[in-house]
Structure 1
Amino acid sequence: MPKFSLKGRRPAIAESIIIIALALVPLFVTFPYRVNIFLSWEGAYRISSGQIPFRDFGSPLGYGFWIFPAIFFKLFGPELISLVKAQVLLNIMAGFAFRSILKSMGVQPGVRLLSVLVFVLSYSFFNFWPWYNHTVIVFELVGLSFLFRSFFSDSRSRSYLWMFGAAFFIFLSVFTKQDGGGMAFMLCLLFLAYNSFQTRRWLDLPIFVAMFAVIAAVMILPLMPGFGYWFNHGQPPHSSRLAFNDFTDEIFGSSNWIKAYVVLVVLCIVAKVKAWGAWLQQRREVLFALLTLGMLGEAAIFQVTSYTPPDNNIFFHSFAFAFIASYLLDLLKININSFRPLLGAAFLVLFWWSGTWWKYIGRFTDRLFPAQETVAMGTPGHENVVNRHNFMLNNDTTDVPVSSWVFSDLRPFRKIYMPASTVKGMEKIMALPVVAEKKGDIKVLNMSELTPLAAAMPYKLETGPDYPLWYHLGVGMFNRQLATFTQKVRDHHYDLVIYEYAPSLNNFYPFALRGELKQHYHQVDSFLAPRRPTNAIIEVYVK
């Protein structure tokens, strides 16, 4: 019987199956309402409806994040589940971009296959919803994959085509989130500088910068002057997130994975390299080291500038794993391309990242082996059971466990479950006399996470160069916009106002406007917001 080995198309087929199969999983399940997903829906809905960013609405971000969700709204309708479908494509793009980068770095097939598995399990698999802190990295990976293809292309013309693709996607990265995109651009300059030095292709770096500048000009100039006010580059009324103490506290006070990887990467290089002058001439080796250390550095900064959710930066695991595994297996003389070592390593990777897939299997084991319940004290013949599940008592009477959430009949919320209070509250809104009487002509201010009501009701969204895409005071809107909304409430401009009160979040919706609503409008209902924990309420006001 011939021995198994990773040759020919086998690695590509296996990697493609891993990337595509795990990316498709979200298409076959239902979801609880995701915190903050209202923003993804709103931007995609406006763009898919023909609105122009920075003319019809303002945002501190570029519109790169909403491109794919808007396309999927056009294809499948403005439903929340369409966002999940868009994320499937983004996860597939990310997986193949990461694979392409490793191919350019000359990573052997076995390590590449394992690294793809690590990437999917650690970064893509649980990202079911599009979010700008993830999309910015997807565009960066695609841009880097094109850039490295340009470095090792045999044709000068094709090399510049790849470089143009790199410049385009790196710009989309910047146009999605300034911090991650800006670091992606700087990393590209670093790689270009080293590659130009080694190949004596001195024009590559200025040509890339020129390509980036032309693309930026074409994409930005038509959006002026609104772009200059809304896009956050630290100018007033925006505030900078670059605080030196934040970086030092986070990096030196925690970041244990990142620091451990840096130590291991350095040790691997020192252990393998015998002649530094010769090693510096090996482009793939040096670029691989620069890429790995660069991604670790980016992750350390990204966790400070994009601090929510806390797992934005874990793309670094797969890069560190690919580098360390490549060097370690070479030093230990292990043939990872043969069947048994590869299978054993795959099981170790699955064990390492079991947290991403066990929660699905755990649902079945919980039913097979249910936890012992607490028995009321004083029950004859029984003792009170105290274990890890109940040693602390939950006295929060407002919390609604996800297990009791229900589905809504409104089409934009299809396949998404929420607290029953939220679903009933939306039904009451739809049944309000003012909604039935004015139908599509109703004037609505929806300061809540239920943005898909715009399509369910429906109502026409307000537009204008000074109208914010979302209402987080100091982030998505500022005092100038608050003054406008305040005056409109005082003038009874709106027929219906839906306001979310989240007291634990700093002006997530402007607190000052709630006082104006209490004074000038009549509150007809309140219900739980679709959050977990359920620590916010949605209030409904009419004239």
Structure 2
Amino acid sequence: MKRLLAIAEILVIVVIAIAPLFAVFPYRINIFLSWEGAYRMSEGQLPYKDFGIPLGYMYWAVPALFFKLFGPQLITLVKAQAFINLLSGFAFLSIGKSLKVQPGLRFLGVLLFSLSYSFLNYWPWYNHTVIVYELIGIAFLLKYLTGSQSRKQLLWLIPAGMFLFFSFFTKQDGGALGLLICLALLFYTGLTEKKWLPAGIFVGATLLTALVMILPFTGHGFGYWFNHGQPPHTSRVSLRDIIGEFMNGSMWLKFYLFIIALLLMVTIKNRKEYWRDKPQMIFTLLTLGIMAEAAIFQVTSYVPADNNIFFHSFAFIFIFALLGKLLPIDWDQKKYIIVGTIGVLLWWSHMVWKYFERFVFKGGGEPVATTKYNGIEYPNVVNKNTYILSLDTTDVPLSQWRVPNLKAFEKILVPGPTVDGIERLMAMPLVKNNKNLKVLNMSELTPLAVEIPYSLEAGDYYPLWFHQGVGMFEKQTDMFVDRIHKKHYDLVLYEYIPYANNFYPFRVREALLKDYKQIDVFPATRKPSSNSWIEVYVKE
């Protein structure tokens, strides 16, 4: 049975990770900066030297490598994420093995982790990658902490420190929280075993990795770009927001903590004995640390809204491991594995049902008759699907999205009117007949850089993306306004999103309206967020 479970764990991780490779995807909001960062690095550009980012560059490392291997298409990002999901799945599996979780329960934890945290993330995003590097680092750390701790075992602490810095150099908040969790585990073992060399090796490996990855860029504006809360950056750490989010929401976190508190009250017969039970204490500290991280991470990294759901799998295996000590549950018995599998699949059925629903209910439900009022069609049946009327006249239904006839957009669906706009752009004499165009592309259509093509501007002053106050600042906005005033660009694409606060600086649009000529406009690639347009400008 254990051998079958071991095979099943691997199959679950692999199948769920690679499943997206066989699909066609609608263009995802914000994926443009993933593409451009990976493209620039794959072309030999260096972060901070050739483009500025408020993060570390490890987020783009895997996508850049995949661009070198498979080409700079958007779909290559999906391939890179499949690899990242494989890494995260096997890291979680390794953690479960180190914690000596029963194979049956460990299989259920892997299934839950893959469904809740891998299947959802089929595009790379730094708020996900930061946790993946952290999990890999924790997996290496636990290899030492729960192993024989021989001198040879100390070597596990080196990749542990390296990957925890990779995590920090992907996103500061998640990486710092991961470091604190690891230091807490090392501090506990140092106190109980009176051995501090492991903590020293881990910290040393982390600091050495930091020096190797940062020192080459200190002469290229690293201190300006990398956000450690200094101006012009603003800190996202707000105790009020963290407490407010926890008290106003975080229903699953609070429920898990309540159950864990009850189970620990029953499990802990003698506090000193529990403190000396190293495997159990490490499991407890890790689980509580992950949940604390999730409570903070949901505030400091709030996009997307569910980016902290990695805590479910840790809480799940910890709670049911405690229950296994109190109840006659043998997680290696077939009946418990079957019931557990059905339970996890039902619990997270929403992750897969939306895909199966297309095949189960191919007709899309009963047709609803419509009536006209003031020239607008309304359903004349009021039910769960029709009781709220959308007043948005700019939304393009997914049924009207299609794949542009451009290699960079292979297998990527884009709104039909956006495709029409791209085709008009590509057919412009200015684009077709000029091989040295100077282009400012302030839109989410960054892959046009390889289709038009045009050279990307570079320099330690130049931002990778244009969200004011996040990816660039007043200094960069002034630079673009000045260049527009001097007619520096032959062609400008500006994405106008009136409801997003300076997602692309409004001052740039004001300058364009004053000094350039708008010759076209078409819907942006945003869904569910519509009411956004890509405007095409040329010199007057």
Using structure 2 for the length normalisation, give the TM-score.
0.96
In the alignment, what sits opposite 1:214? 208
- Separation (CA, whole Å) in 2 of partners of 1:365 and 1:21: 22
Matched, 1:434 2:430: yes
- Separation (CA, whole Å) in 1 of partners of 2:363 and 2:506: 48
Listed as ranges, the matches of 1:53-132 within 5 Å are 53-132=47-126
What is the deviation of 1:114?
A: 0.4
The 1:420/1:329 distance shift into structure 2, 3 A limit, reads same
Aligned-residue Cα RMSD (Å) equals 1.5
- Separation (CA, whole Å) in 2 of partners of 1:39 and 1:242: 24
In the alignment, what sits opposite 2:331? 336
Work out which of the residue numbers 12, 32, 40 in structure 2 matches 1:18. 12
Aligned identity (percent) is 52
- Separation (CA, whole Å) in 2 of partners of 1:450 and 1:372: 36
Letter in 2 for 1:472: H
Contact 1:374 1:390 in 2 (8 A): no
- Separation (CA, whole Å) in 2 of partners of 1:478 and 1:495: 24
Work out which of the residue numbers 159, 177, 183 in structure 1 matches 2:177. 183
Q: Helix, strand or coil: the match of 1:438?
A: coil
Listed as ranges, the matches of 1:256-267 within 5 Å are 256-267=251-262
Count of aligned positions: 532
In the alignment, what sits opposite 1:48? 42
Contact 2:146 2:279 in 1 (8 A): no
What is the deviation of 1:375?
A: 5.2
- Separation (CA, whole Å) in 2 of partners of 1:460 and 1:261: 52
User: Which piece of structure 1 moves more, 167-176 or 394-403?
Assistant: 394-403
What is the deviation of 1:279?
A: 1.4
Letter in 2 for 1:429: L
Letter in 1 for 2:35: W
Contact 1:255 1:300 in 2 (8 A): yes
Q: Helix, strand or coil: the match of 1:526?
A: strand
Listed as ranges, the matches of 1:33-44 within 5 Å are 33-44=27-38
Listed as ranges, the matches of 1:469-488 within 5 Å are 469-488=464-483
In the alignment, what sits opposite 1:541? 537
Work out which of the residue numbers 254, 279, 304 in structure 2 matches 1:309. 304
Contact 2:158 2:201 in 1 (8 A): no
In the alignment, what sits opposite 1:399? 395
What is the deviation of 1:438?
A: 1.7
In the alignment, what sits opposite 1:3? none
Contact 1:445 1:494 in 2 (8 A): yes
Work out which of the residue numbers 453, 458, 461 in structure 2 matches 1:458. 453
- Separation (CA, whole Å) in 1 of partners of 2:456 and 2:525: 22
In the alignment, what sits opposite 1:319? 314
Q: Helix, strand or coil: the match of 1:201?
A: coil
What is the deviation of 1:172?
A: 0.5
Contact 1:422 1:530 in 2 (8 A): yes
Work out which of the residue numbers 245, 261, 267 in structure 2 matches 1:250. 245
In the alignment, what sits opposite 1:272? 267
In the alignment, what sits opposite 1:141? 135
What is the deviation of 1:122?
A: 1.1
Letter in 2 for 1:55: K
Letter in 1 for 2:185: F
Matched, 1:200 2:201: no
What is the deviation of 1:206?
A: 2.0
Work out which of the residue numbers 512, 521, 524 in structure 2 matches 1:526. 521
Alpha-carbon displacement from aligned partner over 1:177-205 (angstroms, at most 9, x marks no partner): 00000000111110001112223322111
Contact 2:242 2:296 in 1 (8 A): yes
What is the deviation of 1:155?
A: 5.7
Q: Helix, strand or coil: the match of 2:361?
A: helix
What is the deviation of 1:425?
A: 1.1
Listed as ranges, the matches of 1:222-233 within 5 Å are 222-225=216-219, 226-233=221-228
Letter in 2 for 1:477: M
Matched, 1:415 2:401: no
